[in-house]
Structures are given as structure tokens and as C-alpha cells.
Structure 1
């Protein structure tokens, strides 16, 4: 099984939202899960569970929960869950409702999911994260029959790409990598970046969009206020 070098894979990442009908072989899928299993884990807690969703009816429920059509159009759809249910089974005295516990779970889940996506891309697959699954997080949890202390954090579509999008511009190095301490925002570098990303969006959608537009679109209103009550319902994030 041939794979691209790690750095080449990372630097060529694009989100893929259109897929061919070609299935992912079971051998390839097993390698992706092996990549997940080798992900770093805080204190070896291994507090992540992956749900591989093959049932079309469940996929449809998750499509409705997220509002993302590609959930039902990709070869594989995975849901990465913070999972402390098994830990409570093994240790009934585990104090799982501390905020730090959920932070550990979220960090470990992100690390594992990125391992899977990078491994997939190195093997010629494409994918896209479905954070919008949290729009209907309770619906998703019910569809997947998740127990207490288990939360569906992010979905992932995987398949063979049927598109070849341009690389999306990222912030220049000095705006995201500071030396010896936090540095003030460099307005001239930000202006250059805004011009670059505006050109990208004009080519992609026909409309100019600066970085601040994405910030306002996401953060200028209540951001999924149902998330905290759901975590608490699951026995997490209470103190």
C-alpha cells in the first residue's frame, strides 16, 4: 500500500465535498483505523470512540442533524466521539464532570481525527470534517445510541475525490507563530492576507470575502448554546 510522504500530504490538504462512487476497500479502512489507534492520548486514557456509519437510515438522520448533504454521498462516514463511558464502567469513582476531563476528550478526539484524515489523504482519498453535526448533537447522539459520558464531537466524510479545489490561503506565519510571547496584530500583513483570501473566494464563489467576514459569521451571535446543556445531560462539564 503506497502512501505520499507526510509533509507533502499535510501541505496539500484541501477539504473534499464531492466524491466518486468508488468504495474504500476494507484493507484501506483498517489502515485508517490503525492510524487512529496510534494517535497520541493524554495519560493513555484513549477516551475516543469512532462510529462507522454504514446504515443508510442512520446516515440520513445524521445528514438532517448536520444539514450537510455529503454525509449520505461519501463512501465512508465516521463520527468521532469523546467517550468516557468505558472509563466509568472500569472505575465507578471516576470524576468525569470536571471541565478538564472534557478538554482532554476534545483534544484527544481532534488528534485522532486528524490522524485518520492525513492517513486517508496520503492514500489518495479526500475528506471533510462535519462540525455541523453539533447543530443537532442530541439527534446525532440518539441516532448512534450513545450512552452517558459519550458525546459526538465531529463527523468526517471520506471517499475518492470527484473535485480538485484550490488550496485555501492560511494566515501568514508571523500572524500565527510568535516568538517568546504574544505579539500585536500586524495590520499590513492582515491586509495582504485579506486581499489573498478575497481573491480565492472570488474565484471559488464569485464573491469577495475577507477573513473578518468568517469571524463575524461564526462569532457575532450565540454559538450553539445547546452544547453546554447537552454535555451536562451526558454527565460532563458540570464543574
Structure 2
């Protein structure tokens, strides 16, 4: 699929994760533009159940980086924001709100992700770079405590960003012929999957940093054949989510 050149879509299509940052701070003007772009994001039923916590305390940021798996780029990034699903604010206005539904959990995650991606698109349009930090869920209960999140609120994902010191090469995506279906789900073509697997092997072998001889399927095995944060459901239920 091809598209007519457009500054916005060109920026989106040129996305790469950035984990190396200069010491230059992000200007107040840019910070406001990024947050206002996030705040303008779509909201399910206009519930507005996302809260962003900007981490400016260096000790707190270092602790969050440690809990996220010793992610040094979180410390190096001038900015680190945590996007939270937040029904507490709605409950303040509507004390009798019927919370605890699994659908509300999904909505909270979806809306937080939409805001985060709006912020990401905005910062890249401003010439900045960043990377998500799902690792904050490695020790989600401790992160929750450090951020002093009330009941019916939990951290979904972090976003570290700033002025890029280095940008990675574009990572090939699965082709649209596999990921874009019409009217109903279509089983992926094994030959196309195999071709993409080899394309990713070539990418991993020749990229400028962290080169390795592995295919995409090897990476899937590494991630999908192990236990994934089994404590999360218990945590969410204690926080008032996914009870029914």
C-alpha cells in the first residue's frame, strides 16, 4: 500500500524507538504541546479515565527505572511520564458508580494507550524521540505505591522521551497483506510469514546496534513461552478492577 506524501503520515511511518538522549531539556512550549495533544485524544463515552503523572523527582525516576528492569534510558531521558487508568476521579463525582467490570478495565487501558500514542505522535512531530516502558508493570504494586495511586486507578505504561542522541533504523513491520483483513479475519499465509521471518533475521543481523542472528519467530518464542506477570490479575482485583 502506498500513500500520498504528507508531513503527519510521514512522521508516523518513520517511527522508531529512541533509547539514547542528549542532555537538552524539552522546552516548556513543547511539553505543553505534547500534553495538550494527549489530552485531546478520543475518550470512550467521554469518561476521561486517563491520568498522566510526570516524573520530575530524580530519585523516584531512578527507582522506577530499576523496577522496570534497570532501564537506564528512563534515567537518561529528560522526561518520563506514566499513563494511568483512573476511575477514581469519576467516582469522586459519582460516588455510587458501579465499578469493577472487566469492560471498564479494557476501556481504561485503551484510553490510556490512545493518550500515550497521541503524546508520542506529537513529540515525534516536534523532532523528539521516545520509547514506551511497559516494564513498569514488572513490579506494578510497588510502582502503584510509589505513585500514590488511589483505589480504582493503576499504571498502564510509561513513556520516556527527549532529544534523540541516536536513532535506530526503521524496523520492518508485518506486511499489510497479513495484518489488514477485509470484512472477516483471514488466516495468514505461511509463506508470507516465513518471508517476513527471514526479513527480520536480516534486519537483526545488520542493524547498527545490538546486532544478533535471530528471526522474529525466535523472539516470539522467547517472549511467549514463559510466564508473564502472573501477579497482575490479583493486583488489579485488589485495586477494584476485573471483579466481574
Residue 186, structure 1, aligned to residue 189, structure 2: yes
The residue that corresponds to 2:114 in the other structure is 111
Q: Distance in 2 between matches of 1:6 and 1:30?
A: 19
Aligned to 2:41, the other structure's residue is in SS state coil
Q: Distance in 2 between matches of 1:143 and 1:108?
A: 23
Q: Distance in 2 between matches of 1:94 and 1:214?
A: 43
User: How do 1:151-190 and structure 2 match up within 5 A?
Assistant: 151-190=154-193
Structure 1 stretches (4+) deviating beyond 6 angstroms?
none
Task: With the length of structure 1 as denominator, give the TM-score of the two structures.
Answer: 0.96
Q: Distance in 2 between matches of 1:78 and 1:206?
A: 29
Ranges in structure 2 where 5+ consecutive residues have no aligned partner: 1-5
- 71-80 or 220-229, larger mean C-alpha shift: 220-229
Task: With the length of structure 2 as denominator, give the TM-score of the two structures.
Answer: 0.94
The number of residues matched between the two structures is: 236
Deviations 1:120-178 (A, max 9, x none): 00000000000011001111111111111110010000100011210011001111011
The Cα shift of 1:21 comes to 0.4
The residue that corresponds to 1:65 in the other structure is 67
8 A Cα contact 1:39 1:115, kept in partner: yes
The Cα shift of 1:74 comes to 0.3
Deviations 1:184-224 (A, max 9, x none): 22111111111111011112333222222222122212211
Ranges in structure 1 where 5+ consecutive residues have no aligned partner: none
8 A Cα contact 1:61 1:143, kept in partner: no
Deviations 1:29-73 (A, max 9, x none): 011110011100001000000000000111011011101111111
CA RMSD of aligned residues (A): 1.1
Q: Distance in 1 between matches of 2:194 and 2:7?
A: 33
